[in-house]
Amino acid sequence: MAMPDVGEIAPDFALPGPDGDSVRLSDFRERAHVLLAFYPFDFSPICSMQLPGLQAQLLRFRELETEVLGISTDSPHSHRAFAAELGLEFPLLSDFYGKAVSEAYGVLRPEGFCERASFIIDKAGVIRYAAIHDMDQVPDVEKLFMTLASLEDER
């Protein structure tokens, strides 16, 4: 499946979070922008740098009314251990069962795991930024902040 385009309504989903409760994208509508940070694997070297980098910027994201959601095809059990090891305060959602969300966003690799990708979804549920990143590099968060700042300018 192809990656949805900027300007389209983001595919809604419900995925299990670290505590087992389901997190639904549409629950954030009208309340907050959302950064979906797809990543390949818990405990892998680049992901072990990427996610703490997002954690380090969490206050900045929240100042821009943005919730951060990490998504991979790893299990909820793996996510709990990974988040605890890294001290993450944002949820890691598991697309382990069926991998339908990774497929809907066009980031599921043939091998069965996610691309490293970022999507910013505004409060209306519209995709405002979409990018697949180099698997061997931590993505540049400044591009995300530029997009979020432009959303604030539109208000």
- The set of catalytic residues is 47
Cβ partners under 8 Å of residue 17, min gap 6: 23, 76, 91, 92, 93, 94
Residue 140's identity, in one-letter code, is D
For helices 76-86 and 47-56, what crossing angle results, to 10°?
60
Other beta carbons within 10 angstroms of residue 22's beta carbon come to 11
Tokens 């043939």 -> residue:
110
Q: Is 3 helix (H, G, I), strand (E, B) or coil?
A: coil
Q: Is 51 helix (H, G, I), strand (E, B) or coil?
A: helix
